A and B are shown apart, each in its own frame.
Chain A
């Protein structure tokens, strides 16, 4: 057979119209196989899987793991473990946790990750966890700006194949369930139905019932310390997570899981837990850890006057001179040797210098760089404090530094006070953030 067809613009347009109409007809008739029970033809399944693998490979090419992130760090593994139990185990299962027959009927059915993670590179895992996969039921990370959380989750996935049932129960489920028979899906939402004690168990999986954060040894400082923080701060923070004002893939899910009344009770509970010794200060102790309304509390009496030398406090110690033309002379500047005033100055050379810079920022601030002293708001001896300002002593170094960076980048939401901190973090250099985080972290060593 031989057909002579002349292709004209009109015929091409007609073909296109016919194609679209045809596609609409197929959709309209309603006989397209969408039943999960029908599954895919094996060729379709191969094609979809192949396409997905190629997409992940190509689209993760521009991701590179930040140098400071060590995926073998047990602290990162612990940070993400609790979230694995709530966010991932319900579909993918976990050590000692079988997959439910319900999720096994999904098309595509979610794989057990112990067997799968080895097939992907770190960057590809990061891409999948952060972005999710369309049409597969795999969700994206709820807080797209929190790359640190995604990397922690990748660290957990890397540890997963070697993880025993007991280790998993300890890391993700609060330890108490290690000997129990685990249901399919693990400890998931149905078990936590809003009763305060269950909610507390939920919090305690990561933060511990004492609010100091679980984990020993290298994993010790995996979680921020919430014990003894003022209740209004904790409550406002939980509400900020629940509303999505503060971004976290780890904290938004639990904060949305409970009624606000439950959140308030949780805030009061953790506020009443003793803070690690030395981290709190008289100001907070005097106000009491609970109590939401501050207006009826008398402000602290003003400490003694400092009239005579007050003028001097305006001045930072420095010996820089300048010649007649107004040009700075020399670098024998007591102020600059410890504090990189200019962007070009290098970071402090030793750990001691770093801590000294941190101490100075925390207690005195660097006025000429528009960095006020942290203690003006976050506590210091004898000062009353707005109950929405948390204490910082003894917080993990990574936590302080990560959040200062998030503020600096303009992606750290929080309570109604968060913009105050953004204004300050904006002016801080990387070295200053590192220094002040190290100093506050060193103010206490939590012993348990």
Chain B
């Protein structure tokens, strides 16, 4: 191998490591993502083969043959290569795609989870009943959470998706394709994970300044663990009083945030009843730590440009610290 060959191989392998991980469609962990990946490879191989043949014919036409062509062979090439071949290939792909879609749209056999994509976070409700809820066309009630979706392994979980503001798109690349969250209607997406783990999701439709910072996590666990999780999320907060809780109410945090078990009943922003049990805060922006709670409260705009929550850096530092500590206890 030449030196440049080694370099190219090293670069290529370095680049390919980007294809693995919690947010990669090349590292599928769900039925739909696997099919999408198969489809991608077949399309890539087919496209490459056709490209090579077309380039070969062009080369032959320009350089390979010096004599005149017969009309007959020219017409034959146009009819077979230009009409019959594309019709057959495209019809085959259409048929294949449609049958795949039918399979993917099979009814769910797992839980139904309502997800409302909002500038710039994800409102989640487990175990929803049939009534329309806060995002009036999504089902009401259920167990509220935010920015982290737990789903059972091997089950088909139905995600009901809508939005109160602008169009967003729900995408967990290792699990499935993306689907838009559209104000005024409910879209459905079925996630059928094939291996456990924590996967990254993102908003895949530009929705405003903080679009980049609108992430979430999907946690795939066995059915029993899933049920235990939802049951634990349904409980009121672990610690409902103390200085942090008092300051939370007094400074108006409760205008937007609910902490069940306290008078905090705001429904504008994420439910914080079990915020410390989630992996990230601010929709995938920061790992959940007391320091990060304090940092985010102090300067939301700095850590998540375009965020809707105003920063509260004008509060005395000891008040911010007390609130952050209290949030850290809400597991």
Interface residues in chain A, defined as those with a beta carbon under 8 Å from any beta carbon in chain B: 294-295, 298-303, 305-307, 310-316, 318-322, 325-328, 333, 335, 341, 365, 367-373, 376-377, 383-386, 389, 416-417, 419-420, 422-423
Interface residues of B (CB under 8 A from A): 131-137, 140-144, 164-165, 184-187, 234, 236, 240-241, 243, 245-247, 249-252, 254-256, 258, 260-263, 265-268, 271, 308-312, 314, 316, 318-319
List the B side residues contacting A369 at CB < 8 Å.
164
Using CB atoms, name the residue of chain B closest to A302.
B241
A-B pairs with lowest CB-CB distance, top 5 = A299-B246, A376-B255, A367-B267, A377-B252, A372-B255
| Residues of the A chain whose Cβ atoms lie less than 8 Å from the Cβ of B135 | 368
Contacts of A319 in B (CB 8 A): 132
CA distance in complex: A318, B249 (Å): 27
Known A314-B144, A384-B249; contact A367-B184, beta-carbon cutoff 8 A: no
> Are B136's CB and A302's CB within 8 A?
no
Q: Could you tell me if A419 and B140 are in contact, using CB atoms closer than 8 angstroms?
A: no
Of A315, A320, A341, the contact of B141 (CB 8 Å cutoff): A315
* Chain B residues with CB below 8 A from A389, complex form: 252
Q: How far is the CA of A104 from the CA of B311 in the complex (A)?
A: 53
Query: 28 A-B pairs, CB-CB below 8 angstroms?
Result: A295-B319, A299-B243, A301-B241, A305-B262, A306-B260, A306-B265, A311-B234, A313-B267, A314-B141, A314-B144, A314-B258, A314-B267, A315-B141, A316-B136, A319-B132, A320-B132, A365-B266, A365-B267, A367-B268, A368-B136, A370-B268, A372-B256, A376-B254, A377-B251, A383-B249, A417-B314, A420-B252, A423-B308
CA distance A420 to B256 in the complex (A): 12
Flag if B143 contacts A365 (CB, 8 Å).
no
Determine the distance from Cα of A284 to Cα of B35 in the docked complex, in whole angstroms: 62
Question: What's the Cα separation between A295 and B236 when bound, in Å?
Answer: 28
Given that A384-B246, A389-B252 are known contacts, is A311 also in contact with B143, CB under 8 Å in the complex? yes
Q: Identify the interface centre among B234, B240, B243, B252: most chain A CB within 10 Å of its CB.
A: B252
Q: In the complex, what distance in Å separates the CA atom of A298 from the CA atom of B258?
A: 22
A386 adjacent to B251 (CB under 8 Å): yes
B250:A299 contact, CB within 8 angstroms: yes
CB-CB < 8 A to A422: which residues of B?
Answer: 310
Distance between A323 CB and nearest chain B CB, rounded to angstroms: 10
Bound Cα distance A367, B255 (Å): 10
Contact present for A316 and B134 (CB under 8 Å) = yes
Which of A314, A321, A369 has most B Cβ within 10 Å? A314
A367 to B164 alpha-carbon distance, docked (Å): 10
Give bound CA distance, A185 to B229, whole Å: 76
Interface of A is mostly: loop
The distance in angstroms between the C-alpha atoms of A161 and B71, with both chains bound, is: 101
Are B263 and A365 closer than 8 Å at their CB atoms?
A: no
Residues on B with beta carbons closer than 8 Å to the beta carbon of A327: 184-185
User: Closest residue of chain B to A311, judged by CB?
Assistant: B141
Q: A312-B141, A313-B258, A385-B250 are in contact. Are A367 and B266 (CB under 8 A)?
A: yes
Which residues of chain A are near B164, meaning CB under 8 Å? 368-370
Task: Decide: A302 and B240 in contact? CB cutoff 8 A.
Answer: yes
Question: For A313, A385, A423, which residue has the most chain B Cβ atoms within 10 angstroms?
Answer: A313
Task: Select from chain A the residue with minimum beta-carbon distance to B260.
Answer: A310
Asked if residues A314 and B133 are in contact (CB atoms below 8 Å), the reply is yes
Residue from A310, A320, A325, A370 with most neighbouring chain B CB atoms (10 Å)? A310
How far is B137's CA from A368's CA once the two chains are assembled, in angstroms? Answer: 11
**What's the minimum C-beta distance from B51 to chain A, rounded to whole angstroms?**
40
The answer to whether A416 and B314 have CB atoms under 8 Å apart is: yes
* Pairwise interchain contact B260-A383, C-beta atoms closer than 8 A: no
CA–CA, A383 and B252, complex, Å: 10
User: How far does the alpha carbon of A305 sit from the alpha carbon of B236 in the complex, in Å?
Assistant: 9
